[in-house]
Structure 1
Amino acid sequence: MNKLIRFAGSPLFIAPAVCLISFLIRLATIGLYPLQDTSEARYGEMTRLMIETGNWITLWFDYDVPFWGKPPLFIWLSAISCKLFGINEFAARLPSLLVSMSITALAFRLALFQLGQSAGRLVLLILPTTVIFLVLSGTILAEPTMLLSITMILTAFWIGWHSENPRQVRFWQYTFFIGCAIALLAKGMAALILAGLPIFIWCLPERKLITLWQKFPWIKGTLLTLLIASPWYIAAEMQTPGFLQYFFIGEHFQRYLDNGWSGDLYGAAHVVPIGSIWLLWLASCLPWTPFLIIIAFRWVRGRIGGNSYKINSWRLFLLLWLFCPLIFFTFAKNVIWTYVLPVTPAVALLLADHWQDTWHLYQKRILATTILAPLLIIVFTVLIINGYGQKSHKQLMQIVEQQGLDNPGILFLYGTSFSSRFYSDGKAISIDSIQHLQDTLEDRSRNYFLATQDDDFSHLPDTIRSQFKEIARYEDWTLYLNNYNAL
């Protein structure tokens, strides 16, 4: 019994248990709340459109509007999941959770290779309980698949460079190029830059760039990358000409360097003060960023192990992994909090490197810290389920369905939301003018629902308002149903 108690209190048990519990909590919650406007519902609707149209090459912003903003890998994964489990929130979000588990496994493998089992278990504690990592592990966004590619590239680079096992070297070096292909299909050149910068800077001293060229199979590896990734790019340009110019120039350069970039075809750019990425990092990587800052401060003051803490080659690699994305986005004018995600494995690995020999001294404090992110997920889910902070029209579409009408028209005055389109199976349409509404209502062969925001309904002509009765309200939206029977 004493041995069992000691085992339950050891990292050998605690780390996998915390990792498993964190992911199980996320698994249990991803199907409990609606897809949120704007981004998540937008990608959910793209997933639904991919399945409905059978077009697996071009992403569609609407039935007649191609989406050139991102490569399709994360939508492919969601679409495959929805084909297997039905078009719903759980199926659409599930691939991101599986991808996040794969990222954790890669970070664990890297820690195991370089530092040993103690550090590997600490990675299992830290990474899945980082707020941004756990939150985004249950969303339909491109960032988790991008992070998978970055983590694969950097893990494969390090092991492929340092391993003394020829078979292991060959495996990881070709995995490096597979990671590059995944990067191109997950996010494009941005993912390659974020993964390549730490490698390039790390290789600058001691003529390591020459060694890099000699060690890795660049010709065969590059051909492998192109073999995997280029067919989709070619097919996408052939199906919708203009894609390559918009994607590589607009999305990769103008979006970040041009303040208020007017070329964005799919919404407004997120203009923020220069340097905002650092504040986003401090908040998004909670609860672990304070520990990292304290360790850095003590190191600067020379109080770690009597000046024995050295920035060796391994630690330099991790610091570059951490700081290159943050510095890269420091001067960007369009930044959102998800841009912090690529640094999360580096945070976990740096802390694991520092704590691997002193786990027993900080065990209670570390374990208490791991509770925060899963607890936030539970609180967030409960609040969303009860309507707090919810940005979705799922409830309005459920009310429409409950009326039991045969093929009604679902009209949104002055613009639909992505969630309304997703939850109406694409039936919700936008009415952009009063004349458009009048023309639509002339067809009396069907009933019509009309959703309006704020007081837009009161500004409609009496001849239109008299045709509708209010049936529901949701936040600042009101749903009306025409009060004549369809013929």
Structure 2
Amino acid sequence: MIGGIDARAINRGAAPPRTSRTLLWIVVLGILLGFTFQGSRGLWGPDEGRYVDAALQMMDSGNYMVPAYSPAELNFSKPPLTYWVIAGSMQLFGRNTWAARLPYALAYLATLLILFAMGRKVCPGKPWLAPLVYATSLFPFLTSNIISTDVLLTLAESVAVLGFMMFAWPDSVLQRRYGRLLMWLGFGLAFLIKGPPGLLPLLAIIAFTVLCDGWRAAGRLFAAGDLLVFLVVGFTWYVLVISRYSGLLHYFIHDEVYGRIFTNMYVRHSGSFGWIVVYAPVLIFGTLPWWGGAVRAVKVAASPSSWRTWREKRSIRLLLFLWFVLPFVVFCLAKSRLPLYLLPLFLPLALLVASRMAPAFDLASRRNAFLLAAWVGTLLSIKAVTAYAYGAHIDDDVGAREVATAAVGIDYRALVFVEKATDSYAIEEQTPWGMRLYLGKPVYGIRWMDADAATQICAAIKAQGQSLLLIDRGISREDLERALGHCQASATPAGAWRKYLLFVAHD
């Protein structure tokens, strides 16, 4: 008995389980793993704070078209759909951590449901196995509680690939008719979440179609009406902001595409072996506890005879193999590498593992049921520890309470962090943007080495009125006073917090 449902009823004998019962089991598991302790942990900097801060800036300014860190600092590094989703949740459920993370728990649950639909095509007798593998694999479980683009991107890509599966292996006329439309809708959403990386599964879809059906069949993927849906959903925002801000097209192409793929400008493990350092631990530990199935899937996929058989039979396993391998090669070759980039690849990995384990895996076995229940308990324990006993040094909720204590009795309308950073990207990484959620005040991040740093500080004080300056200890008070002299502002010492000296500034 797991999650209140009899495991033996799911898998008894050779007959396939009832879809409604197994689907309910997956929903219960997804709710248990996705929502438990979901709002208990504060925002971890820098990434979680950045996304929530940008959503709050949209809500406070009423400008949902242009992402921004603060009233003075625009942020086009990511398309806006992630910010829209977070802002929508906080509009409905309040400005709190639980509401900020709610879309991610829902996305985790929705991804399991889509994997269930995929599982009906990959291993029809046990469609629940793929979502079970994904839900309980260590990496997807841990990331389900992290505010980022990647959880939402994984959901959008799963929608797109499910659409292709419906088109390529239809169970009905309706699936054939609307599968391709769903595919392009999913890719449009993926592009609005993360730009070009959202289209990586399309490489696998095209490669599979060409290998099995030829180039002419690949051309049929690009039907005008369905492609229009992709263009409208994925590109409308880009067209609007590029027409409004000069130089933005160059920024998207040069910084966000060329810079991330071919340069070290974002300082993300760009060395020759950086991909091993980042991705090997994710694949080794992130696939726990399904190592056995993963190893068997790799052995089969590594056999050239398997490729020939898959191609001759137009097997869905060839699509899954290409869906994992082609994006992974791109991630390894690109110079910007982060663990979360691999999250969407756990979708084909879960399906491949399920396809190998389906003939022998029996959830009615008391041993399997006990081990699974114990592992679920372990996962929830890990989530509890990270919520209550780890991460205080990067928790913006903890930091906000410390700043509030250090500045008790002081009336200020904004927090202005001035960092002695070597590059502009460091401002994104060092500024605790998430404090905005807990203190209810705009957060500015300014690099002291910028030629116009003094102008930026003065502009923030003028726009917000009395502000709390958090000055890197490496900046002398004399230099700060000279900077404030540009706008005849004054600063009064107000204590210290961590690596910052606190000043109250007003014009």
Which residue type is aligned with residue 61 of structure 1?
Answer: Y
Task: Give the conservation status (yes or no) of the 8 Å contact 1:409–1:448.
Answer: yes
- 1:226-279 deviation line (CA, Å, top 9, x unaligned): 222332111121333322322234212321212x22xx5xxx444342542344
1:222 to 218, 223, 227: 227
Separation in 2, partners of 1:30, 1:146: 19
Please give the secondary structure, in 2, of the residue aligned with 1:61.
Answer: strand
2: CA distance, partners of 1:226 / 1:154: 17
Match of 2:105 in 1: 97
- Distance across 2 between alignment mates of 1:481 and 1:252: 40
8 Å CA contact 2:412–2:467 kept in 1: the answer is no
1:454-473 matches, cutoff 5 A:
456=473, 468=493, 470=495
Within the candidate set 335, 340, 344, 1:342 is matched to 344
Contact 1:19 1:125 in 2 (8 A): no
Q: Distance in 2 between matches of 1:151 and 1:8?
A: 25
Unaligned runs of 5+ in 2: 421-430, 482-490
Amino acid at match of 1:271: S
TM-score, with length taken from structure 1: 0.80
Counterpart in the other structure of 1:247: 252
Preserved contact between residue 107 and residue 151 of structure 2 (Cα < 8 Å)? yes
- Residue in 1 that maps onto 2:428: none
Picking from 216, 223, 230, the partner of 1:210 is: 216
The aligned counterpart of 1:113 is 121
Question: Offset of 1:65 from its aligned partner?
Answer: 2.0
Moved more, 271-280 or 406-415: 406-415
CA deviation digits over 1:277-318, x for unaligned, max 9?
Answer: 34432233333345312453478799xxxx9x9645221111
Q: Partner letter of residue 314 of structure 1?
A: I
Report the 3-state secondary structure (helix = DSSP H, G, I; strand = E; otherwise coil) of the residue aligned with 2:320.
helix
The one-letter code of the counterpart of 1:205 is L
Query: Which structure 2 residues correspond to residues 358-369 of structure 1 after superposition, within 5 A?
Result: 358-360=360-362, 363=365, 364-365=367-368, 368=371
User: Residue 213 of structure 1: CA displacement?
Assistant: 2.9
Counterpart residue type for residue 156 of structure 2: S
Cα 1:71–1:450 shift into 2, 3 Å = closer
Q: Evaluate the alpha carbon distance shift between residue 378 and residue 450 of structure 1 in structure 2; reply closer, same or farther with a 3 A threshold.
A: farther
Q: Which residue of 1 aligns with 2:355?
A: 353
Residue type matched to 1:195 in 2? P
Q: 1:398 to 1:288 in 2, by over 3 A?
A: same
1:426 aligns with one of 437, 441, 455? 441
Q: Deviations over 1:422-481 (max 9, x none)?
A: 433334555766997xx99x99xx98766566xx389657x99x965758x6xx457768
How much identity, in percent, do the aligned residues show?
20
Structure 1: runs of 5+ lacking an equivalent: none
Structure 1 Cα separation of the partners of residues 269 and 98 of structure 2: 28
Alpha-carbon separation, structure 2, partners of 1:202 and 1:35: 41
Distance 1:52 1:78, change over 3 A: same
Cα drift, residue 352 of structure 1: 1.5
Matched, 1:318 2:327: no
Q: 1:196 and 2:202 equivalent?
A: yes
**Corresponding residue to 1:382 among 381, 385, 409:** 385
Cα shift at 1:399: 4.5
**What is the one-letter code of the residue matched to 1:420?**
M
Counterpart of 1:170? 177
Letter in 1 for 2:197: A
When the two chains are superposed, the root-mean-square deviation of aligned CA atoms in Å is: 4.0
- 2 CA distance for matches of 1:326 and 1:184? 18
> CA 1:448/1:275 → structure 2, altered by over 3 Å: closer, same or farther?
closer
1:141–1:370 distance in 2 versus 1, CA, 3 Å: farther
Output the CA distance in 2 between the equivalents of 1:249 and 1:431.
23
In 2, the alpha carbon distance for the partners of 1:37 and 1:377 equals: 22
Contact 1:96 1:136 in 2 (8 A): no
Structure 1 counterpart of 2:72, one-letter code: D
Question: Larger deviation: 326-335 or 369-378?
Answer: 369-378
* TM-score for the superposition, normalised by structure 2: 0.77
Q: Secondary structure at the match of 2:434?
A: helix
Letter in 2 for 1:129: T
Matched residue SS, 1:360:
coil
CA distance in 1, matches of 2:74, 2:6: 58
Q: Which amino acid aligns with 1:78?
A: I
The alpha-carbon distance between structure 1 residues 299 and 401, as it changes in their structure 2 partners (threshold 3 A), is closer
Q: SS in structure 1 opposite 2:84?
A: helix
Contact 1:198/1:324 (<8 A) preserved: yes
* Partners of 1:147 and 1:341 within 8 A in 2: yes
Corresponding letter in the other structure for 1:423: Y
Partner of residue 232, structure 1? 237
Structure-2 residue corresponding to 1:123: 130
Give the structure 2 partner of residue 136 of structure 1.
143
Shift of 1:341: 0.7
Partner SS, residue 440 of structure 2:
coil
Does the CA-based 8 Å contact 1:47-1:76 persist in structure 2? yes
1:160 aligns with 2:201: no
Q: 1:296 aligns with which of 295, 298, 308?
A: 298
